């Protein structure tokens, strides 16, 4: 795992954008359509803006790329502005020129457990069908979740329906009119699904993320902190600003390593 600590969120966004741009270039060089795994929430917004600027400068092109969302709420009507499909169309597709038809999002429209499970299985097939995800962008919840794999999620889990913890619902209430409007369930890529991406890129900024970042990066590998699965991946990058890095004990070494050979 590599850890990059930046002065602030803007620099974190620029550093993370470089990682995505490199991954896209590598896929194109290998003759594959780039496949980018997309997180929602606040953490990657700066990164998406930086990618849009890079597109404008001609440094990267997403017209042949596929996007795969990490997760989707269950039960929001199609077109709901807070559904992750709509959020990603607005924040990613429109900004970077990724065709909405090439954006895939887990199907949260199933009316019961078996319909949701069937949709989740189709999502796994879609990811396999494009040859896997090249770079998976991740944020982390204050309780250590990645995707909506809440604490206790199996480290080998696949895309499936999950209940959101009350802490996550409270955190996400800022996007809805009231807490009661926040869905109780979601369909999320599993931790096993996430681990199959060729590269993982976790972005976290702000002091509220410091305990989760410390637990994910330096704590034990445990289902109690789903973000700790990054330790199990051969190519995981963590980009954090000073505030989110505050709990890291091994900071000096990360800075030395970031200085390069």
Pairing of strands 71-73, 185-188: antiparallel
- As given in the structure block, the two tokens for residue 53 are 């600027």
Query: Does the annotation mark 172 as catalytic?
Result: no
Chain centroid to CA 25: 20
Q: Which residue lies nearer to ligand F6R by CB, 67 or 147?
A: 147
Q: Please identify which of the residues 143, 171, 172, 241 carries the catalytic annotation.
A: 143
Sheet strands (E) in the chain: 2-6, 35-38, 66-69, 71-73, 103-104, 135-138, 160-163, 185-188, 199-204, 236-241
Q: Please identify which of the residues 71, 72, 124, 134 carries the catalytic annotation.
A: 71
Q: Please identify which of the residues 145, 171, 172, 242 carries the catalytic annotation.
A: 145
* Residues 145 and 77: beta-carbon distance below 8 Å: no
CB of 206 to ligand F6R, least distance (A): 8
Give 130's DSSP letter: T
Distance CA 151, CA 166 (A): 12
Which residue, chain included where needed, has tokens 């594959």?
32
CB of 39 to ligand F6R, least distance (A): 4
Distance CA 84, CA 234 (A): 28
Q: Which residue is nearest to ligand F6R (CB)?
A: 139
Distance CA 135, CA 158 (A): 17
Q: Which residue lies nearer to ligand F6R by CB, 42 or 109?
A: 42
Query: Does the annotation mark 150 as catalytic?
Result: yes
Q: Which residue lies nearer to ligand F6R by CB, 34 or 139?
A: 139
CB of 249 to ligand F6R, least distance (A): 23
Q: Which residue lies nearer to ligand F6R by CB, 114 or 163?
A: 163
Query: Does the annotation mark 26 as catalytic?
Result: no
CA-based radius of gyration for the chain: 17
CB of 28 to ligand F6R, least distance (A): 25
Q: Which residues bind ligand F6R (CB under 6 A)?
A: 39-43, 70-71, 139-141, 145-148
CB of 171 to ligand F6R, least distance (A): 7
Q: Please identify which of the residues 134, 150, 241, 242 carries the catalytic annotation.
A: 150
Q: Which residue lies nearer to ligand F6R by CB, 41 or 247?
A: 41
Q: Is 66 left (phi over 0), alpha (psi -120 to 50) or beta?
A: beta
Torsion of CA 73, 222, 207, 139, to 10 degrees: -40
CB of 181 to ligand F6R, least distance (A): 17
Query: Does the annotation mark 149 as catalytic?
Result: no
Which residues, in sequence order, are bridge partners of residue 203? Answer: 239
- As given in the structure block, the two tokens for residue 106 are 């887990």
Q: Which residue lies nearer to ligand F6R by CB, 63 or 154?
A: 154
**Catalytic site positions:** 71, 143, 145, 150
């Amino acid at each position: 795992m590599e850890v990059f600590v930046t002065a602030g969120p803007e620099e974190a966004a620029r550093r993370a954008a470089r990682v995505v741009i490199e991954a896209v270039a590598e896929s194109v060089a290998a003759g594959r359509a780039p496949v980018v795994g997309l997180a929602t929430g606040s953490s990657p917004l700066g990164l998406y803006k930086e990618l849009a600027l890079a597109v404008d400068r001609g440094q990267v092109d997403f017209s042949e790329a596929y996007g795969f969302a990490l997760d989707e709420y269950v039960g929001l009507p199609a077109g709901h502005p807070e559904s992750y499909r709509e959020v990603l169309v607005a924040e990613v597709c429109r900004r970077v020129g990724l065709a909405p038809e090439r954006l895939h999002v887990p199907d949260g429209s199933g009316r019961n457990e078996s319909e949701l499970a069937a949709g989740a299985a189709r999502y796994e097939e879609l990811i396999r069908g494009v040859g896997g995800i090249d770079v998976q962008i991740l944020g982390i919840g204050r309780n250590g979740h990645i995707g909506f794999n809440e604490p206790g999620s199996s480290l080998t889990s696949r895309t499936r329906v999950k209940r959101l913890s009350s802490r996550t619902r409270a955190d996400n209430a800022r996007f809805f009119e009231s807490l009661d409007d926040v869905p109780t369930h979601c369909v999320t890529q599993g931790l096993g699904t996430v681990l199959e991406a060729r590269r993982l890129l976790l972005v976290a900024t702000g002091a509220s993320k410091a305990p989760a970042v410390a637990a994910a990066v330096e704590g034990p590998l445990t289902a109690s902190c789903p973000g700790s699965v990054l330790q199990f991946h051969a190519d995981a990058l963590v980009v954090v600003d000073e505030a989110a890095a505050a709990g890291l004990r091994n900071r000096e070494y990360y800075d030395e390593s970031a200085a390069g050979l």
